[in-house]
Amino acid sequence: MIRTLRTARKISPLIRSIVFGVAAITAVGAATAVVAGCEDENQPEYYTKRLNDPAVRPAAVKRLVQFFEDAMTRADKNRDDPKVKELLDKIVPPLTKAYMESSGDDRTKAEILKLLSDTRDVRAKDAWIKALKDYQPNVNEPEAKAAIQAIADTHITDPAAMDAIIGMFVKLEASSPKGQLVYVDIKNAMTSIASPSWKPQLLERLNRPMQMISQADKGTNEDKIRAYQNEQFWQTTSAELLGLIKATDAVKPLFKVVLDPNKADIAATAIMALVRIGKPSMNVLVDSLLGKDTEINEYAKTVIKDKKDVDVTVVRTAALVIGTIGRADGVQPLLTALSKADPKDTITRAILARELAKCPATPESLKAFIDVMQSTPPSAVIPPGDPAVATLIESLTSFYDPSVIDVLIKLGNDVKGEADDKQVVRDAALGTIIKLMRKDQVPTVDKLLGDWAPKENDSKLEKDAFKKAKGLLDACGDKIECYLAKIEEAAVQEKDQQFVGIKAAYMLGILGNDATRMEITKRLPNIKNAAIKFAAVQAIDHLAPGGDKAVADQMQKIIDTDLAKGDQMLILGDAPVKQVMYRLLARQ
């Protein structure tokens, strides 16, 4: 028995050891099973852990993309949804790390960058910056586009990000196959950021020479065409950005762009940049207008082929920009230039008068304008090939002064020259007269139509416009509220009734006051007819000779809303709204 007990005592530890050993092994196995169970393929962590393994990284990235897209779909595209934010917390840091450290499959890197850009999560900033720094022309444009759009949308302004963007910009070749697909998006992103730190590079691009493409070059000189397209992108974007950042030291380079015939495709953007810069543009422009800027005069000699046209080209171009800016302090310089102009140079005088009409009206400017209009031959033509007198008659509406109707009647009665020239003058005069006439002038204009267009088919358009204008004046008289209601009335938005809305807008310019311009602005979203909208914003412009930031801010909201809708007709219709908005700000 004793021996048996001793044997049992010896065997028991062994049994316990064996049993506990088996238990330990079982426990380890169970623990291993638990760990393996945590690696659920339905969880994003399963895939983020595999981003460092080149063999499985492509599949892991594709699965993470699916996680993000599914989350966004469930959240109705709302990145601020708690579930989306929870997912981003799990995937953005490891994806960013993987992108920063990866040097393998370019396709997978591009997919990582696109996903990080789509998240619009600022923790991915370093990856976005790296993508821009690593940009190579006609290689990775899609990554550059994704990165800059993410930076723009997240309002990142870090110096490193701004340096990376401008570094990419000066390398981007808009003429390349891949560059053609992204340059508009990249330009839009840059203009939404508009960093003042880019100014040196923008000025460098703007000052580069360009060579206009000729008909002979098309189809035969591909290198020249590509070089021109690249410069057009760089310089158009640079001009717009310099205006946005109000770079005062860009005024002279921008005006040189407008003077250079080789940069004709950049000129409109450069002019609007000068408008945005506003008052600081005026000194250079006024000195150029009056022949006092030696640097501009010498530069013009290098870019204008016909040397006899150098001086007048500088004067005409400076006048054009001053008129487009539309500040009150541009009136007196234009009057001075008119007094200095050669009386025989009808083209320069007509251009100066046309631009004078774009500035806030004064009794002196109206008198000078009428003097030029009356002395200009009916056969005279001004760039880009328009009859000078007819152009001036149409510009006379910008004064919103019904008293000029008597002047126009006399001009139409006294006009000399060929029958066609006479008809052009009279038709233009009738259009302006009908737009400006008040209710008490209706009988005079009715008689005028009988004298100038006695036959039934004579001046049919003008007769129809008169009929609509008369009906409006009978209904509204001098009541501003009535005309405000008319410009947004649904019926007048139709093309066959649009002149009612146009006439109502002119009456608002004639009768309106400081408060009227905001009332018109509030109604712009309801004006669907582009011609009525144009007339309405012109009335606002006339009613704000000293500018109006509140109205300009309201216009910007309208433009942004229409842009967000993506309706191209609305966006195109806002072009005059945008120009008037810039003029209102330039007058401050």
pLDDT the model gives residue 104: 61
Q: Six-digit token pair at 511?
A: 């009768």
Give Cα 492 distance to the centre of its chain: 29
Q: Can you give the C-alpha Rg of the chain in angstroms?
A: 35
Q: Which residue has the higher pLDDT, 10 or 202?
A: 202
Q: What's the DSSP call for residue 80?
A: T
Give the span between the Cα atoms of 318 and 585, in whole angstroms: 20
Mean pLDDT of the chain: 92
Q: Six-digit token pair at 92?
A: 């953005």
Give the span between the Cα atoms of 210 and 235, in whole angstroms: 10
Q: What is the mean pLDDT of residues 346-366?
A: 98
Query: pLDDT band at residue 105, thresholds of 50, 70 and 90?
Result: low
Please list, in sequence order, all residues whose beta carbon lies within 8 angstroms of the beta carbon of residue 224, skipping any fewer than 6 positions away. Answer: 211, 213, 217
pLDDT digits (tens, 9 = 90+) for 558-573: 999 999 998 888 899 9
Q: 149, 189 in Cβ contact below 8 A?
A: yes
Is 291 inside a domain boundary? Answer: no
pLDDT the model gives residue 38: 52
Give the span between the Cα atoms of 359 and 275, in whole angstroms: 13
Q: 262, 210 in Cβ contact below 8 A?
A: yes
Q: Which residue has the higher pLDDT, 200 or 22?
A: 200
pLDDT digits (tens, 9 = 90+) for 39-66: 789 999 999 999 989 899 999 999 999 9
pLDDT of 546 strictly over 60: yes
The H or E element spanning position 465 is: helix 460-476
Q: 248, 299 in Cβ contact below 8 A?
A: no
Nearest-CA neighbor of 256 among 310, 186, 303?
303
pLDDT the model gives residue 215: 86
Q: What is the mean pLDDT of residues 533-539?
A: 98
Of the listed ranges 113-122, 189-198, 304-313, the least confidently predicted one is 304-313
CB atoms within 10 A of CB 533: 26
Tell me which long-range contacts 481-485 makes (C-beta under 8 A, separation of at least 24).
483/507, 483/508, 483/511, 484/508, 484/516, 484/519, 484/520, 484/523
Q: What's the DSSP call for residue 215?
A: G
Q: For strands 386-387 and 381-382, give the pairing.
A: antiparallel
Burial (CB < 10 A; 0-12, 13-18, 19+), residue 82, is exposed
Give the span between the Cα atoms of 574 and 588, in whole angstroms: 22
Give the span between the Cα atoms of 178 and 54, in whole angstroms: 28
Full residue range of the structural domain in which residue 522 is found:
478-588
Using alpha carbons, list the distances in angstroms from residue 454 to 158, 447, 458: 71, 10, 7
Is 517 inside a domain boundary? Answer: yes
pLDDT digits (tens, 9 = 90+) for 395-440: 999 999 999 999 999 999 999 888 888 899 999 999 999 999 999 9
- If one counts the domains in the chain, the total is 1
pLDDT digits (tens, 9 = 90+) for 67-90: 999 999 999 999 999 999 999 999
Burial (CB < 10 A; 0-12, 13-18, 19+), residue 270, is buried
CB atoms within 10 A of CB 184: 12
Is 579 inside a domain boundary? Answer: yes
Q: Six-digit token pair at 42?
A: 């339905």
Place of tokens 């109707």: 405
Q: What is the mean pLDDT of residues 213-240?
A: 93
Is 547 inside a domain boundary? Answer: yes
Give the span between the Cα atoms of 205 and 200, in whole angstroms: 9
pTM of the predicted structure, to 2 decimals: 0.90
pLDDT digits (tens, 9 = 90+) for 119-163: 999 999 999 999 999 999 999 999 999 999 999 999 999 999 999
Give the span between the Cα atoms of 263 and 279, in whole angstroms: 24
Please list, in sequence order, all residues whose beta carbon lies within 8 angstroms of the beta carbon of residue 369, skipping any fewer than 6 positions away. Answer: 353, 356, 357, 392, 395, 396, 399
Please list, in sequence order, all residues whose beta carbon lies within 8 angstroms of the beta carbon of residue 35, skipping any fewer than 6 positions away. Answer: none
Is 302 inside a domain boundary? Answer: no
Is 413 inside a domain boundary? Answer: no
Give the span between the Cα atoms of 524 and 514, in whole angstroms: 17
Give the span between the Cα atoms of 436 and 152, in whole angstroms: 46
Is 330 inside a domain boundary? Answer: no
CB atoms within 10 A of CB 159: 9
Query: pLDDT band at residue 4, thresholds of 50, 70 and 90?
Result: very low
Give the span between the Cα atoms of 95 and 51, in whole angstroms: 7
pLDDT of 34 strictly over 60: no
- Residues of the chain above pLDDT 70, percent: 93
pLDDT the model gives residue 164: 98
Q: 231, 263 in Cβ contact below 8 A?
A: no
Is 337 inside a domain boundary? Answer: no
Query: pLDDT band at residue 510, thresholds of 50, 70 and 90?
Result: very high
